[in-house]
Amino acid sequence: MNDTTTTPPGHHPLWPSLTAPRDQGRDDTCAVSAHGVRVRFADGRELLDGSSGLWNTNIGYGNEAIAAAAAEALREASYLSVFRYENTHARRAAEALVEAAGPDHYGRVLFSTSGGAANDLVMKVARHYHALRDEPRRKVVVGLRGSYHGLTFGSFALTGDDLGQQLYGVDQRFVRHVAPNDPAELNALMARQGAQIAAVVVEPVLGSGAVPLTEEYLAELLRLRREHGFLLVADEVATGFGRTGSLFASQQWAEQPDLLVSSKGLTNGTSAAAVVIASRQVAQAFTDAGAMLTHGETQAGTPVTCATITATLDEMRRLDAVALGRRLAQRLDTELDALVAGHPRVAATTGLGCFRSVRLCDPDGTPFPQDQVHALVRAIRDAGAIVHPGVNGIQLFPALTYTDAELTELLAAVTAGLDLHLARTA
Ligand code: PLP
């Protein structure tokens, strides 16, 4: 392995989270700059990014139009808020988002600063909505087992495992988790507690393992919503902005969610931004009741953030990025199928569009050991590409703007990295 540690672990003032101390302070994982789909590191290497940052730089790094819009907004007003006052930049971004999400269904946009914070907000909106309709008992929020919704106290509780509870005593008493794609468990919960359920929150494709919700499960979710009156929330933090063949994955559903959470691709990774897009019906309940939502984040909906949202939507349209993503996905389908057929250690691929997981196996077919996944990711880095760990393998989230040559290069680095890892551990 490339051993370019320059600072002893734990000695640099930068304290990176979700990173083991032995992996901190290294120049080969300390990025300096990024352009197109490549990231340059402090050790001088330039790597092909197969993860679009953290699945957010969907149209590549260094988009000039977004940078220009951000600079202009900063010059016009370095700061303006969206509570107690409004600002025209936020109004423009909200209009553009409702227009893009579907103005027949969606009505209003709330601003937040991260996917996790927006999921906290969405749970407050759902409870408040029911309270306004004389159903204050509806407080329970349902999530899917294995889901990921963030690591704030609220979103960590909703995230579909008990890690938050174990590590930090996160209170999960208001949440119920059911198995994804298993209508039986959801039906049983509804039969027991239907009248107490404020919302069901789902990722259209579970990030962990890139597992898409099945059509049957979605149909059942929509039927249960009609029967039991909960709000259906699509957490599109990762699936949004063209990842899965449409601007939002839920636009492919037969009926739209009541609340849609977006972040990541929303600003192409340029600002700490997230939004909750509320249906007309949900928004109207607050207007009719004259109800004020008790939520506020100082840095939400600022001019620079909103300019990056509006410019990202404009650039996605100009580049026809959703169509580019659909085309790239077709190539990914072909290439990944060939990898499964041609490499004895590649077991399967899952996912939708440009949101993929590659599952690996041992020669006898047993799943690739999870405790080796980080070493595998390092080997793929040594072979020239950035990918993130997945379930028994890796995740692939290339930018929608990838060229054919870049995709070929990415898959070659993945294969070379896998072979390198196997040679190192032989
Ligand atoms: N929801 C989903 C589906 C995500 O994939 C993520 C991040 O990966 C989050 C929420 C949390 O977003 P953030 O890291 O901005 O808090």
Q: What is the largest CA-CA distance in the chain?
A: 67
Residue 5 has pLDDT above 70, yes or no: no
Residue 155 has pLDDT above 90, yes or no: yes
Residue 162 has pLDDT above 70, yes or no: yes
Phi, psi of 56 (to 5 degrees): -125, -20
- The per-residue pLDDT for 112 is 98
User: Alpha-carbon distance 39 to 88, whole Å?
Assistant: 34
Q: What is the mean pLDDT of residues 57-63?
A: 98
Quick check: CB of 220 below 6 Å from ligand 1?
no
Contact indicator for 118, 112 with CB cutoff of 8 Å: yes
Quick check: CB of 207 below 6 Å from ligand 1?
yes
Quick check: CB of 235 below 6 Å from ligand 1?
yes
User: Alpha-carbon distance 237 to 391, whole Å?
Assistant: 20
Residue 3 has pLDDT above 90, yes or no: no
Quick check: CB of 116 below 6 Å from ligand 1?
yes
Is 176 in a helix, a strand, or coil? strand
* Ligand 1 centroid from CA 289, angstroms: 31
Return mean pLDDT, the chain: 96
Kindly provide the b/e burial profile for residues 69-84, where b requires at least 16 CB atoms within 10 angstroms of the residue's own CB.
bbeebeeeeeebbbee
Residue 363 has pLDDT above 90, yes or no: no
Is 319 in a helix, a strand, or coil? helix
Per-residue pLDDT band at 6 (split at 50, 70, 90): low
Quick check: CB of 146 below 6 Å from ligand 1?
no
Residue 104 has pLDDT above 90, yes or no: yes
* Ligand 1 centroid from CA 197, angstroms: 23
Quick check: CB of 56 below 6 Å from ligand 1?
no
For 73-100, how does the pLDDT look when each residue is reduced to its tens digit (9 = 90+)? 999 999 999 999 999 999 999 999 999 9
Residue 343 has pLDDT above 70, yes or no: yes
Residue 122 has pLDDT above 80, yes or no: yes
Torsion angle of alpha carbons 254, 106, 257, 131, nearest 10°?
A: -140
DSSP category for residue 290: T
* Ligand 1 centroid from CA 383, angstroms: 28
Q: Looking at ligand 1, which residue's alpha carbon is closest to its atom 13?
A: 115
Q: Which value does ipTM take for this structure?
A: 0.99
- The per-residue pLDDT for 2 is 47
User: Alpha-carbon distance 84 to 276, whole Å?
Assistant: 18
Mutate to test the pocket of ligand 1, among 148, 155, 352, 355 (most ligand atoms within 8 A of CB): 148
- Would residue 55 be called left, alpha or beta, if left means φ above 0 and alpha means ψ between -120 and 50 degrees? left
Q: Retrieve residue 19's tokens.
A: 């990173």
- The per-residue pLDDT for 26 is 93
Q: What is the mean pLDDT of residues 327-335?
A: 97
- The per-residue pLDDT for 8 is 76
Residue 51 has pLDDT above 60, yes or no: yes
- The per-residue pLDDT for 120 is 98
Per-residue pLDDT band at 1 (split at 50, 70, 90): very low
- List beta partners, residue 31: 41
